[in-house]
Structure 1
Amino acid sequence: MLTLRTGVSQAPKQKLSNTMRSWLPILQSNLESLKEVLEPFCEANPLLEVRPGNERDEGRQFAKRSFFDQATSKNSASEAIEALTLSKSSLYDVLYEQINPPLFPTCKSQDIALKIIEQINEEGYYDPEPAWWVAHGFSEVEVERIRGRFAQLLPLGVGAKDFKEAFLFQLDDLDVEEGLYQRTKRLIEDFENLETYAGEADFSEAIGIIRRFHIPPAIEYFEEEMQVVPDLFVFENNGAIEVKLNDAYYPDVIIDTQGMDESHYFVAQKIKDAKDLVDALEMRKATLYKMGLMIVEYQYEFFTGGQIRPMKLKDLADELARNPSTISRAIANKYLACNQGVIPLKQFFSAAIDEDVSNAAIKSYLQEVVAKEDSKKPLSDSRLLGMIEERFGVKMVRRTITKYRKQLNIAGSSERKKLYSFK
């Protein structure tokens, strides 16, 4: 029995057409589903067997803790790679990512917010230990003031004390007419006696709004989330940034010729087909490895703590001598793990406003400007539009800035002014 394990090569090899036909579907599949993609080849080849990577089960243990905990507890490069092998976003990971300005503009407000997260249960409700804030030197008033800002975090309703407050948090996020807002609020506050309001105006509309709310707030995190297996690792080793494939998750391709005449035409052809499959796997590895090297070259500042900069898919396609549509499909549903987290490859190819400016760059600048704005005179979307057009030399419309601001969970200028008064 002959076991063939694919190895890392620096550039894709030029192979026969059979290899190329195998390579495209193999390249386009994600690492988790790769074995399933290979199964039809096994069905057509009695000499061929494909087995999952030997370390697959071992790797799953790392899903139990967050990437941040794993990365900060490891010392060697190999251990860091182990930490990156498997990742999924939890409720707490999502919350931690949102504790930043302008909603939490000071170190103290951020510190309180992070401690509040520790008091949130798996359903998303604030379920605190008695007077926990005393041990940290905070007052209950300070804690409640900061907890009130959780009404603007995702998932909506998180950090509420009970279902009523979670309803109110979600209601505040809706843009409804003031009269309907007040009637819905009253129904929520007197929810135990809901039926007594059935004959009032707008009752049906108010109930319709309440039915849209998620209770408990973290219900979307109850079901087992898809485990993300990254294809690439990018990590620092002795002052240098390195790229490594997630080789442990690649399947074993086994060719069993025991007791067979390898000179026989049928056997020889099946052996050749099996080796073509191995070549296709090698080409997949080599292509993704080169993608990783190019991403690091283009995005070096990001991997050293900066921001993602504009990168065109065509540049990568030209370098690999492939059609951009092929590369676009190749990066779909594939991930890169680094100190900044587990990131979809497509995120490095932000849609461009023009040839040199990406949406990611605009959003980064928007965050930076808002973080430094005068708390007494927060910048309006129109003013932000003017600053962005001047900074990047592009023409945009105000509603685009409003959309970006909301995507970044940045409140409007009037809301920010109120928030700044909480400092």
Structure 2
Amino acid sequence: MTFAKLGLIDQLQRNLQTLGYDTPTAVQVQAIPAVLAGRDLMAAAQTGTGKTAAFALPLLQRLTMEGPQVTANCVRVLVLVPTRELAEQVHQSFAEYGMSLPLRTHVAYGGVSINPQMMKLRKGLDVLVATPGRLLDLHRQNAVRFEQLQTLVLDEADRMLDLGFARELNEVFAALPKRRQTLLFSATFSDEIRALAGVMLADPVRIEISPRNTTVKTIKQWLIPLDKKRKPELFLHLLKKHRWGQVLVFVKTRRGVDELVDILLAAGVRADAIHGDKPQPARLRALERFKAGEVQILVATDVAARGLDIDDLPLVVNFDLPIVAEDYIHRIGRTGRAGASGQAISLVCADEAPLLAAIEMLTKQNLQRIEERGFEADHRVPETNASGQLVKKPKKPKKPKAGSFRGPAR
């Protein structure tokens, strides 16, 4: 299969060749013809399988073939995403795929001044990539209008609900025209998302590239059990022992991210952080430094997991296990992208056993446990069975009190 056989115009094919795209992925093969035909779409595919191109390429083609039509403050294609990082990533993809095409695109998210975004919208946009909150800010100030909206794309819709955007999404949906194309893309689909699709989509084409809630097979996964207080020490030990290059590390809390970065910097390791408390320019700068190789270790919270697109990332470390089991899939999906191999290591302490069990139940696999010599846990991590359920340790028999033993009855 080639992009030409999928019906893409010559300019898009040339752009893809420039970017090094030779063969369409499975989700692109199924999605591109459906989107070109104007069908609604519900697609579940693992992260790193080319979902963005699957909707961006056909939408860019349709907009180009229709010619410039957009009027002041209107948008023709709206892409909603859960995080600032993902918004930047998706917008960059539209810009790269659409090189030399006569289209206007922009990105809008919170944490930065709204004025430049309002200025971009004055002449209208063919494509707007936005987070729900900032989109509503723009709409309430009459900076964006939806009369000309043709297509709504919900990218990582499950994550938007996880982050509490349900109310904002309902408000956005109420403002959109009823007659439109709707595309629902995600790495995983919860039952809640499937119910949403039943209301939002009309006779959708359904695509499920991989089994629900599975991890990429090219990613080698295992865990190291240890005591919680020794996690920073073990991480530095592994970094030196294995001579790791670039590593993306996930930590549960913003405070934990900053504490680990301080420890790494004190040890002479080039590290930077991404989390919700950092201003957007600082987050983008940290990501660019990591991509450029100026930073060896990038430490992040789950809010950034869906928006980090890093080529050839060899290793992800779960310094803490995620609270939401599905986030494990998105975390480790930052490596092993587009068929490449990768590694995902989790540092697990005893009080994270329920989180581990939830991950193993979701992914239907038991993570291999490999102890690191010298870091054996005093507080053992409970075992899990084949279903990922915690195995209760047998209770030790109570010792009889002195003088209470009675021999067998005669």
TM-score range for the pair, normalised by the shorter chain length? under 0.3
Higher RCO (C-alpha 8 Å, min separation 6): 1
Structure 1 length as normaliser, TM-score? Answer: 0.21
Q: Which has the larger radius of gyration?
A: 1
Structure 2 length as normaliser, TM-score? Answer: 0.22
